[in-house]
Amino acid sequence: MTDELLANNTRYAENFTGPLPLPPAKHVAVVACMDARINVYGVLGLNEGEAHVIRNAGGVVTDDEIRSLAISQRLLGTTEIILIHHTDCGMLTFTDDEFKKSIQDDTGIKPGWAAEAFSDLEEDVRQSIARIRTSPFVPTKDSIRGFIFDVATGKLNEVV
């Protein structure tokens, strides 16, 4: 499958115009779930060069997202943060204990990290925002907004 995607890249490069500047033009950083159905550039109407995009299983905020946001704001001038979780998320389908036990059963080794599963989408968006708000390493917190992407409609619904 990788080779098929590389053939797509050859076509993409044919119409590519670059290079654009390194700092994101819209001064926005997005933290979204890795889910295949969330095309972040499409969902937000972003063009190349406009926003940092950070993604992981769940769209949660761990030390690595704080690291990325710290670099984004401190070195590359972003000032707004958009968090995106989504309906029908895989993270709603298991618990940390179950997942880590299954890995231990399979490999003999229990991960030292949290799986970050959750049972309530809105609560986890608020949890992710709270982790950013309490971090001393992310300096600009004036605009941190969280959304749930609806995989049936394509719409972002804000968590308030």
Helix or strand run (H / E) with residue 3:
helix 2-14
Q: How far is the CB of 104 from a second copy (least distance, A)?
A: 10
Tell me how far CA of residue 51 lies from CA of 17, 44, 79, 138, 155, in angstroms: 17, 10, 11, 17, 19
Residue 112 or 160 having the CB closest to a second copy: 112
Q: Is-contact 116 52, C-beta < 8 A?
A: no
Q: Give me the least distance between CB of 29 and a second copy, in Å please.
A: 8
Least distance to a second copy from the beta carbon of 124, Å? Answer: 15
Identify residues 62-101 at the interface with a second copy (CB under 8 A).
Answer: 62-68, 70-72, 74-76, 80, 82, 87-88, 90-91, 93-94, 99
Least Å distance between CB 133 and a second copy?
14
Site for a second copy in 40-69 (CB under 8 A): 40-57, 62-68
Query: Among residue numbers 131 through 160, which ones bind a second copy (CB under 8 A)?
Result: 136-137, 139, 143, 145, 151-156
- DSSP E strands in the chain: the ranges are 28-33, 51-56, 80-86, 143-149, 156-159
Residues 66, 81: Cα–Cα separation, whole Å: 12
